[in-house]
Structure 1
């Protein structure tokens, strides 16, 4: 964000209810791994007045890592301590090929080096020295080759193995894992070297329960080697365009299969018919496949099916009456299709539905009457449908609703009165609607709200003042709203805010003064406010929980970067169209912000 003020243009593909993000492998040394570990790392601080003190174990490990140059071997330590020291090294990006030697023969169980820089075959000798203790290995994004993989052959107790995005492992190299019969989880995402013939190595992995081959482009014909894997419960072949109907024949006998994800493959209704015997199948994702409503005949035989993703399949109303046979569905995604009001009448019998996504269809108010009986609904997506105020009256009985998506609809202020009884509502998106400042007063009773999106130009300071009773908000999006310095005074009511976006262009440093006290903020987006200066960075330097900061299109210069040094948790920094150079950000990264993995300008 920060490039344009209006974000809702080209829609991101929605998978399993969440938007796809670009993998860190293709960004600036990015990895979601660092996002997870940065929150879990213990804080070593025993100063007087602190509320908590680290454990003795944490202090010991911190001290060992601090004096690491004094130690050359950890194998005499108990395994759990060696594991924690190893994890600490990885989390702090301090593990090198030299320091790795100290962990030889330590009986470590988990080696999680996914997308860790510079991992290659030379590391594998130490990793494999853990022997029978080794239970999980993640070397995704590494430069490990067939030779390195072969060193794991004797680590026969390995249960989980991930080699996502590893381009230097060949078909021949896959044979090295054929003897790891204790494997229960195996992942080779976007590994073009995984071929149909290479998959022959998987046929002996009789305990395999989870297999991830997402974006593997050469596996057509290879699923035949999975026929004997009777314990397989989860298979991911999303974005494998080489997969066709004939491939699914091999899956017909995998009666333990519970999850099958194959979006954007070349599957049709014929392929779906081969799945009729999978009586335990609970999740089926065929987003973007060439299926029609005719496939619902086959799906009705899947008595355990509770999650069905039919987004972007080009479905029409013809055959929609067959939805009535899917009685056990709890999640139904049908966004981005050609469905009209005529379809929804056939959904009213799906009493178990908890999540319904009808976004980007030709839906109007007339269809919403058929949702009245879906009293178990917790999430409803009507994004970009032709819904107006009157239609919302049909939602008043959906008392369990927690998430409501009304973005880009024709809903205005009058319609919000129908939401006042939805007291369990936690997330509400009103971006690009007709709602005005005065209408927001009708939301005051929704005290369970945690996330509110008001990305609309007609929302001003007065609108922000109208919702100050919603003190439980943790996420507030005012991206396109016209908020001034005066309006930011209202932010003092939202002490629990974790994410805040104010990008309407009206803020100066005076308004930022009212933001600097929001100590719980982890994401702050102030882009498009061209009058912000280096003083802004000085004022927010106390927001030490920040993980993501965007102050693009402002007057910030290289001189202001010094104020970011206290933000040790910062992972993402965007200062595009500022007087800031990538070289100065890199200096800051190397000296003060070691966790920073994504920044712009690069």
Structure 2
């Protein structure tokens, strides 16, 4: 539907989608290399940059931590230091990827509260002995993606005050290792993503975790029959079971979890009987049923979930008949109907959901006429109409929704006329026109969107002349101009003033090595994609080495 330069929604990963799961994860050597090159997390980035700037005086604690880390070889132990100072030194070594097994030994018996080694390279059973030496002081441990085995996990048996444990992708931990959990009655958060060690038999220990609030068992494929051991975890509020092999009977054991507010069953086989069991979870605020094979039968169960704020029904077989049962969900703020069989008349049942903020309609049978039912959604901030039957006429129907911040129109039926109809949406921060037929003339409309942070304009009809209307969008952090074959080095010169850019894609264009010099001013650039351009890998690497040290993702490479 979207033409040769459009993207099928089923193949995309939307980083802002709270329902996305890392279905392509593979713990390989290349992945471990990435762990060493990428920042450990976005929160780490913000924490490291927080409060730092010209004229700021560091705190005494920061000075102490910096000095100790600089002279780390002079110390054999930190056990005599206050635990809060030891904790900060430990955190700094981890954040800077400087912690080794030898340095870890200095933290033995330091009464640390938090040991966050998730995705940290080299963590194994030997490390766990030092981790466990914190004993009753230890409250939180994350050893995700490590080489820890049952033996290493068992070292934690004396750390009975633990409240949080993360063991995601720990493929060397078996069901025997789970036995140590029986002593963690204070545990409130437990995560074992993609673990073959979590079996129905191993889940017996879960029955003792009566204070558990958050449980993540994503893609634990051997838990069939194990949910029976969770029926008395009445304090549970968040449960992640996506891509697990569960049955109607298994879901029925969740009926008594009256405090459950978030349930993720993505890619699990969900039947009408499952939906009936879920209907008893009256406290649910988030329900993810993406790719569950749901039909209209059983959807009447949604009517009982009055507190729902987020509902994901994407990639199911539901039709307009299902949407009838959503009319009473007046607290709904986010609804995902991606690739469902819904059409214009189905949107009639959404008109009363006035608190709606996000609506995903990609790859549906929605046309311009159906958008009239959305006129009352005055709180709507995000709408995705990619790969639908919506035309320029439909843009006029959403132009009055002035609360919109994100509009996705990867759709060959949208032209300059449709873009012109949206110029009143001056609050837009994200605009995706990937496959839309926008020309240089249409780019004149972009001057109305001064707040744009993300822009994708990839219909193939833009030249350097159109880019002149983009060069003043100073808030842009992501710019995708791929597929526009007539763009030249002049484009790179024009956008060289967009210094906030973090991601830039000018693939399938006439950009050459000579134009790369214009990118030197883009010091915040972390992702650069120049596939099928007149550039060489060596010149891009030279640019990275000499001018753009923050570049992490580079294509070609």
Q: 1:118–1:143: 8 Å Cα contact kept in structure 2?
A: no
Q: List aligned pairs for 1:342-353, cutoff 5 A.
A: 342-353=321-332
> Cα offset for 1:260?
0.8
Mean Cα deviation higher: 546-555 or 318-327: 318-327
SS of structure 2 residue aligned to 1:161: strand
Relative to structure 1, is the Cα distance of residues 85 and 240 closer, same or farther in structure 2, using a 3 angstrom cutoff?
A: farther
The residue number in structure 1 matching 2:126 is: 147
Distance 2:255 2:67 in 1: 49
Relative to structure 1, is the Cα distance of residues 556 and 368 closer, same or farther in structure 2, using a 3 angstrom cutoff?
A: closer
The residue number in structure 1 matching 2:422 is: 467
Q: 2:511–2:535: 8 Å Cα contact kept in structure 1?
A: yes
Relative to structure 1, is the Cα distance of residues 491 and 138 closer, same or farther in structure 2, using a 3 angstrom cutoff?
A: same
Is 1:216–2:195 an aligned residue pair?
A: yes
SS of structure 1 residue aligned to 2:490: helix
The residue number in structure 2 matching 1:6 is: 6
Distance 1:461 1:392 in 2: 19
> Cα offset for 1:261?
0.7
Of 254, 265, 280 in structure 1, the residue corresponding to residue 259 of structure 2 is 280
TM-score, scaled to structure 2: 0.85
Mean Cα deviation higher: 372-381 or 131-140: 372-381
Distance 2:422 2:352 in 1: 31
Distance 1:479 1:172 in 2: 51
Of 61, 75, 99 in structure 2, the residue corresponding to residue 79 of structure 1 is 61
Distance 1:118 1:4 in 2: 47
Q: 2:161–2:184: 8 Å Cα contact kept in structure 1?
A: yes
TM-score, scaled to structure 1: 0.79
The residue number in structure 1 matching 2:154 is: 175
Q: Deviation string for 1:386-422 (max 9, x for gaps)?
A: 33444444444xx4x3xxxxxxxxxxxxxxxxxxxx4
The residue number in structure 2 matching 1:238 is: 218
Relative to structure 1, is the Cα distance of residues 450 and 374 closer, same or farther in structure 2, using a 3 angstrom cutoff?
A: closer
Is 1:440–2:395 an aligned residue pair?
A: yes
Is 1:334–2:334 an aligned residue pair?
A: no
Q: List aligned pairs for 1:9-408, cutoff 5 A.
A: 10-12=10-12, 17-20=18-21, 29=34, 31=38, 33=40, 35-38=42-45, 41=49, 54-57=55-58, 78-82=60-64, 101=73, 105=78, 106-109=85-88, 111=91, 120-126=100-106, 128=107, 131-156=110-135, 157-166=137-146, 168-220=147-199, 221-244=201-224, 246-396=225-375, 399=376, 401=377
Q: 1:170–1:194: 8 Å Cα contact kept in structure 2?
A: yes
> Cα offset for 1:455?
2.2
Mean Cα deviation higher: 331-340 or 143-152: 331-340
Of 433, 436, 442 in structure 2, the residue corresponding to residue 478 of structure 1 is 433
Distance 2:325 2:168 in 1: 38
Distance 1:297 1:487 in 2: 50
Q: 2:359–2:383: 8 Å Cα contact kept in structure 1?
A: no
Relative to structure 1, is the Cα distance of residues 292 and 122 closer, same or farther in structure 2, using a 3 angstrom cutoff?
A: same
SS of structure 2 residue aligned to 1:227: helix
Distance 2:304 2:400 in 1: 38
Name stretches of at least 5 consecutive residues in structure 1 with no aligned partner.
47-53, 61-77, 87-94, 402-421
Q: What's the RMSD between the two structures over aligned residues?
A: 3.3
Distance 1:43 1:539 in 2: 33
Q: 2:489–2:515: 8 Å Cα contact kept in structure 1?
A: yes
> Cα offset for 1:339?
2.2
Q: List aligned pairs for 1:405-444, cutoff 5 A.
A: 422=378, 424-437=379-392, 440-444=395-399
Distance 2:520 2:158 in 1: 49
Distance 2:395 2:174 in 1: 56
Is 1:541–2:472 an aligned residue pair?
A: no
> Cα offset for 1:556?
2.6
> Cα offset for 1:81?
4.1
Distance 2:493 2:67 in 1: 35
Q: List aligned pairs for 1:507-586, cutoff 5 A.
A: 507-586=462-541
The residue number in structure 2 matching 1:411 is: none
Mean Cα deviation higher: 309-318 or 7-16: 7-16
Distance 2:533 2:523 in 1: 22
Distance 2:7 2:94 in 1: 31
Relative to structure 1, is the Cα distance of residues 36 and 306 closer, same or farther in structure 2, using a 3 angstrom cutoff?
A: closer
> Cα offset for 1:380?
3.5
Distance 1:171 1:247 in 2: 20
Relative to structure 1, is the Cα distance of residues 102 and 170 closer, same or farther in structure 2, using a 3 angstrom cutoff?
A: same
> Cα offset for 1:441?
4.4
Distance 1:384 1:469 in 2: 26
Relative to structure 1, is the Cα distance of residues 581 and 174 closer, same or farther in structure 2, using a 3 angstrom cutoff?
A: farther
Name stretches of at least 5 consecutive residues in structure 2 with no aligned partner.
79-84
SS of structure 2 residue aligned to 1:539: helix
Relative to structure 1, is the Cα distance of residues 298 and 239 closer, same or farther in structure 2, using a 3 angstrom cutoff?
A: same
Distance 1:4 1:38 in 2: 37
> Cα offset for 1:8?
1.8
Relative to structure 1, is the Cα distance of residues 176 and 557 closer, same or farther in structure 2, using a 3 angstrom cutoff?
A: farther
- Aligned pair count reads 537
Relative to structure 1, is the Cα distance of residues 501 and 330 closer, same or farther in structure 2, using a 3 angstrom cutoff?
A: closer
Relative to structure 1, is the Cα distance of residues 178 and 564 closer, same or farther in structure 2, using a 3 angstrom cutoff?
A: farther
